[in-house]
Amino acid sequence: MASLKELRQAKGITQEQLAKGSGLRQATVSALENGRTNAQAGTIQALANALSLDPKEIRKALTEAEIPNAADSGRTPREKSRSTHSESVDPDSLGKLSWNWKNALRATEGQSRQWKEAMMFLSPVLHKHPEFLEARKLLRKSEVEANLKIPISDRIPPPQSYIAKAAKATEDGDPVAAMEVLEEKVFVYLPTNIKAGEALYDAARSAGFPETARFALEFAAQHNPDDKHIRQRLASFFHETGELDLACEVLRQVVAIDPEDIAAPKALRDMMARASMQGGKIKIKDPDEAIALQRAEQVGFTDEQKRSELDSLIRGLEQQGSGEQATSAAEMGESLRRAVRLARELGESDLSFLELAMQLQVQLSETFPQDPVLRLKTEELKLEVRTRKLEAAEAESGDGDDPNVELLRQEKVNAEVEFAENVALANPTSAEAHLRLGRAYISAARFREAVKPLQKAKNDPRVGIDIEAMSLLSDCFIEGGLNELAVKEIDQALEKLGSEGLADTDFYWKELNYKKAKILSATGSDDEATAIFADIYAKDSDFKDVEERVWGGG
């Protein structure tokens, strides 16, 4: 049987011409011809179209490239592993690395729980045996449990660039290199990252490791319970592998996550029909389930329908909690998520329902204590409840002093700080998260604590993030009596604004110069301060009190 290379040469075209005709990269064509990667259905069809051949001929040609031959004797273990489809490795066959595997097991068993040590032992094992699925699972568990954090200043380039690098390695026909990049640069700090999980899935499929690909999607879905995109991709994977019952279960989760997604219930019904045709494995056993699916298709319910369904869900949860009805954690989680959404929708007009949503969200977070996203949503709801209570109290008290209103204001500030701290913890590389935390600390008059997150946000190169961070830093230093540091931050921000061509119009330019002039005035540099106030006045005479300061001389 002719190989892909021979088929190409028979047509009298080069690798470059085949790549152009099929819409593939030349590196991908080269990798396919040399058996370094496996082709998916779309790639096979593209090659067949470019060569004017039947896809079956292309598939057979590529299969020939995967057959071991004498050339394998000169390949490294890593290169050989790329054409290996077995992901079950006998630890005794690891040679010297069997010691690493045994130590990794010891580090994670019993009372020891030495997760970082386990990671150290497992890394060289996977470097040489990327197909060793059990080692990858243990490594990922260790990464989650170790909960490593790294300062934003040390993460240059950011994880997104490594994910892109891994994707390119897969596209260029080196999926094992892609898996190594993800493990060494991304998963060690962000083990549950969805984009990285998808990149691992693509690399594992390309390398011929279907179980590792499955693990990548299942792990990402397990640790991101409110993300419907990863579940949709997992459902597609189960569909491809013929596991239609599992595909149906995953699509049910998609419907529960986003009841307003009209396409999700239709996809579920179609999948259930396919499963039924496959052998009748999946049937709607409960008529209430069918009713729920029909309701999920509706764009909106009346408040009465929402209250009725919410009451039904809460009764079911009470029965589950009392042991009257056997249920799994996944089923309870779906019920709680649906109840939270209904309560939040009703809470838009009734504060008592918003408070109920908060209680249900707390219960959901306690059901899945390892899920950081649920903890964040809990804190977000707590903040929303306190904000609404404060608004209601302010409206009722009018302009009068009310100690209850002041107490609610303080509770809201504390909730903002707690939420911002959790957001920053869950997103250690996000400049927006650190900026938000800095703002929250300033609102709570915790100026010294605000400095560190604001300095992290300041390192973000985007205009707006860095400049606002510098402005807020100057406020912190002013409150602390550190006027020289405040002026230094202001000058840096003004320099950045000038480099962006925003010095004459930007709000921050006026705000920053105004603060600098006030500092100079307070420290005795009245002439310099007056000159800055005059400069602001010349551009915007209505800005704060610059008119009075210029005309009044103070």
Which of residues 112 and 213 earns the better pLDDT score?
Answer: 213
Q: 203, 182 in Cβ contact below 8 A?
A: yes
Q: Give CA–CA dist 358/360, Å, rounded.
A: 5
Give the model's confidence band at 496: pLDDT under 50 very low, under 70 low, under 90 confident, else very high.
confident
Q: Distances in Å between the alpha carbon of 384 and those of 227, 306, 414? A: 22, 21, 12
| 456 located within any domain | yes
Give mean pLDDT, residues 135-150.
81
Give the model's confidence band at 506: pLDDT under 50 very low, under 70 low, under 90 confident, else very high.
low
Buried b (16+ CB within 10 A) or exposed e, 277-307: eeeeebeeeeeeeeebbeebbeeeeeeeebb
pLDDT of residue 206: 87
Q: Check which CATH number belongs to the domain holding 45 and give it.
A: 1.10.260.40
| 52 located within any domain | yes
500 pLDDT higher than 80 = no
Helices (H), 23-158: 26-33, 41-51, 55-66, 77-81, 97-108, 115-128, 133-146
Read off the DSSP letter of residue 91: G
Q: Give CA–CA dist 448/464, Å, rounded.
A: 22
| 185 located within any domain | no
pLDDT tens column, 313-332: 888 888 766 555 555 677 77
| 478 located within any domain | yes
pLDDT of residue 220: 92
Three-point CA angle 260, 266, 267, nearest 5°: 105
Label each residue of 54-70 as H, E or C. CHHHHHHHHHHHHCCCH
Q: Give CA–CA dist 282/346, Å, rounded.
A: 34
**Centroid of chain to Cα 409:** 32
Three-point CA angle 323, 329, 334, nearest 5°: 110
Give mean pLDDT, residues 18-47.
73
| 451 located within any domain | yes
Structural tokens at position 549: 């300061």
Structural tokens at position 455: 């300095």
141 pLDDT higher than 80 = yes
Can you give the residue range of the structural domain that contains 504? 430-552
Q: What are phi and psi of 377, to 5 degrees?
A: -65, -30
Q: Give CA–CA dist 427/64, Å, rounded.
A: 47
Q: Given 69, 104, 121, which residue is the final one in a domain?
A: 69
Least confident range of 149-163, 236-250, 472-486, 508-522: 149-163
Q: Check which CATH number belongs to the domain holding 452 and give it.
A: 1.25.40.10
Q: Given 24, 43, 69, which residue is the final one in a domain?
A: 69
pLDDT of residue 291: 46
User: Which helix (H) or strand (E) element contains residue 229?
Assistant: helix 228-240
pLDDT of residue 316: 82
pLDDT of residue 69: 37
Alpha-carbon torsion (514, 518, 519, 525), positive or negative: positive
User: How many CB atoms sit inside 10 A of residue 401's CB?
Assistant: 7
Give the model's confidence band at 375: pLDDT under 50 very low, under 70 low, under 90 confident, else very high.
confident
Nearest Cα residue to 152 out of 405, 529, 465: 465
86 pLDDT higher than 50 = yes
297 pLDDT higher than 80 = no
pLDDT of residue 540: 83
302 pLDDT higher than 80 = no
Nearest Cα residue to 544 out of 519, 507, 501: 507
Q: Distances in Å between the alpha carbon of 135 and those of 100, 144, 215, 308, 408? A: 10, 14, 12, 48, 51
77 pLDDT higher than 60 = no
pLDDT tens column, 412-460: 888 888 888 878 877 777 788 888 899 889 988 999 999 999 998 888 7
Give the model's confidence band at 268: pLDDT under 50 very low, under 70 low, under 90 confident, else very high.
confident
Give mean pLDDT, residues 23-42.
69
Give the model's confidence band at 39: pLDDT under 50 very low, under 70 low, under 90 confident, else very high.
low
Q: Give CA–CA dist 154/428, Å, rounded.
A: 11
**116, amino acid identity:** K
**237, amino acid identity:** F
Which of residues 490 and 500 earns the better pLDDT score?
Answer: 490
User: How many CB atoms sit inside 10 A of residue 500's CB?
Assistant: 12
Which of residues 521 and 319 earns the better pLDDT score?
Answer: 521
Nearest Cα residue to 224 out of 375, 338, 373, 426: 373
| 446 located within any domain | yes
167 pLDDT higher than 70 = yes
234 pLDDT higher than 50 = yes
pLDDT of residue 463: 47
Q: Given 69, 84, 113, which residue is the final one in a domain?
A: 69
Q: How does the average pLDDT of the chain come out, rounded?
A: 79
pLDDT of residue 286: 46
Q: 450, 476 in Cβ contact below 8 A?
A: yes
Nearest Cα residue to 548 out of 535, 532, 537: 537
Which of residues 498 and 482 earns the better pLDDT score?
Answer: 482
Give the model's confidence band at 218: pLDDT under 50 very low, under 70 low, under 90 confident, else very high.
very high
Which of residues 134 and 263 earns the better pLDDT score?
Answer: 134
If one counts the domains in the chain, the total is: 2
Residue in this structure with the two tokens 């690395």, named with its chain if needed: 97
pLDDT of residue 249: 87
| 134 located within any domain | no
| 544 located within any domain | yes
